[in-house]
Structure 1
């Protein structure tokens, strides 16, 4: 991808995640880039195209980095999930749900594409994680791997619903921390529980 186009995608997404997909204008993006709006339109014909391409670009980038964490195989599967959560929260600015709420409301086709990509990736990622945990004796061996992967994804989508989990009552960082612990406590063995307790106790200190 040409350097200028990639810079526009990066700058745009930074604004979208900070201020919301609906709120940010092409004027603001052009101003942040230090270019005229006319020049911006030579790269992207409208805001909808910019929303889609910047979102998909970031989604693929995040998926690739998550794969690197999983494939590095330097941590046990419990620590692996916490490393993934930490990385995602950092990359998506704490995963404030309001920008994604705007994306779903005003750009539903883009939101569906992202959801499909995320499901395919998370399904594979959690399947690998669960199988690794079973092999290491940290997860129970009588769980349905496919079910766990899907219920993890459904839960992740569910906690982003601002109608159910309003951000003023459930701050994103705490909510994702609680959800991950909830997920793991349902599948760990006594050996895995010791590792999980150590992690959660240190996080609460």
Structure 2
């Protein structure tokens, strides 16, 4: 039952927002009593935390599948972007904003978890890109990985990138181009331009 509650809550939170959906709403949707939910989750914050953690873990596992496909470093970035665009498109940004606004401690924990999972993967991408001759050999993968994470999470900030000026699809594509042009070799930027035409 706990897993069913978690799955239903995730579905409703993503569609309607973390703030908008109450424990009563989840219970009614599932045809169970609110008491049943509280047998498994002490309060809504606990449920929101588990949903956010589950979502991060699911995305991480899906991205690991892309890593396992052994694309070249630049193609890998575009494949991850394509996956995220189809899985977490603009309709999911409102719940993320609500998470940041109404559950800041949960959002901070999620961001920390995202960084832990992403940091080593991005460093691996950078090192492979250097080996493949796509990224410059003089870059610092440790530093660039941190900059990349800060940028890719920062472009989701609607105060800086308002929805009326940029769609999520535009910002991710522009940021990916910015990232690769900053570190790419001539071979890498030529490959980038081909992938940009396809995306």
Q: Same fold (TM over 0.5)?
A: yes
**Structure 1 partner of 2:7:** 10
- Larger displacement relative to structure 2 (178-187 or 47-56): 178-187
Distance 1:139 1:113 in 2: 32
Is residue 102 of structure 2 the alignment partner of residue 91 of structure 1?
no
- Paired with 1:86 and 1:49, the residues of 2 have a C-alpha distance of 31
Identify the residue that residue 32 of structure 1 maps to in structure 2. Answer: 29
Residues in 2 aligned to 1:157 and 1:193: alpha-carbon distance in whole angstroms: 23
RMSD: 1.7
Deviations 1:127-179 (A, max 9, x none): 00000110011111111111110110110121111111112221112211211
Residues 1:113 and 2:109 aligned together: yes
Distance 1:10 1:173, change over 3 A: farther
Other-structure match for 1:179:
175
Q: Which runs of 5+ in 1 are unaligned?
A: none
Contact 1:19/1:99 (8 A) holds in 2: yes
Q: What is the aligned partner in structure 2 of residue 20 from structure 1?
A: 17
Say if 2:8 and 2:26, in contact at 8 Å, map to a contact too.
yes
- Structure 2 CA distance for aligned equivalents of residues 115 and 95 of structure 1: 20
Between the aligned partners of 2:162 and 2:92, the Cα distance in structure 1 is 11
Equivalent residues in 2 for 1:40-59, closer than 5 Å: 40-59=37-56
Please give the per-residue CA displacement for 1:20-47, whole angstroms capped at 9, x wherever unaligned: 2111111222233232323222222321
Q: Is 1:157 matched with 2:156?
A: no
| TM-score calculated relative to the size of structure 1 | 0.89
Distance change in 2, residues 1:95/1:122 (3 Å): farther
> Structure 1 pair 93/25, CA: closer, same or farther in 2 (3 Å)?
farther
Distance across 2 between alignment mates of 1:108 and 1:31: 27
Q: Helix, strand or coil for the counterpart of 1:186? A: helix
> 2:64 matched to 1:64?
no
TM-score by length of 2: 0.92
C-alpha separation in 2, matches of 1:195 and 1:170: 25
Structure 2 unaligned segments of length 5 or more: list them. Answer: none
- The one of 184, 192, 199 equivalent to 2:195 is 199
